[in-house]
Amino acid sequence: MSDQELMDLARKAAENSYSPYSHFAVGAALECEDGTIFTGCNVENAAYGDTICAERTAAVKAVSEGHRDFRRIAIWGNSREYCYPCGSCRQFLQEFSKHMTVLCGKGDGTFVSHPLSEMMPFAFDF
């Protein structure tokens, strides 16, 4: 699957976003090493801090289905800036796959690609 196709899945996943508080819909498409894809969206809550980001939704779906080796993740938000993953999601992803690639998209459909290791240097681990 091309980067563009993975990003298209992320954009589609954003349609299921539950974001009545921020009104910012985010979608993610996570590709595992064996090619399996898990999608996710952000799921907000009246207790704002309980919100789950799209990336973590996808990662939790994957791990709970027995997939721990991630190759790429595409993230799409209807924003003017590229939708980069928050610090918590970077930490969460690197727990499983320090060498994965992160594609960050924005409203106009363009996206950039970065190694996770570049976005999360000196991540906590033990």
- Identify the residue among 1, 16, 19, 98 touching ligand THU (CB under 6 A): 19
Which whole-number Å values give the CA distances from 88 to 6, 48, 51, 91, in the listed order?
22, 15, 12, 5
Find the binding residues for ligand THU in span 57-76 (CB under 6 A).
75
Give the integer Cα–Cα distance in Å for 61 and 109.
25
Count residues contacting ligand THU (CB under 6 A)? 15
Catalytic residue among 5, 15, 44, 55: 55
- On the CB side of 102, CA atoms within 13 Å amount to 25
Minimum distance between the CB of residue 62 and ligand THU, rounded to whole angstroms? 16
Quick one: 23 or 126, whose CB is closer to ligand THU? 23
Which candidate, 80, 114, 109, places its Cα nearest to that of 4? 109
**Tokens matching residue 106:** 């924005």
| By the rule CB under 6 A, 22 interacts with ligand THU | yes
Nearest alpha-carbon partner for 27 in 45, 46, 1, 7: 7
55 in catalytic set: yes
Residues at the interface with ligand THU (CB under 6 A) = 19, 22, 24, 26, 42, 44, 51, 53-55, 75, 83, 85-86, 89
Active-site positions read 55
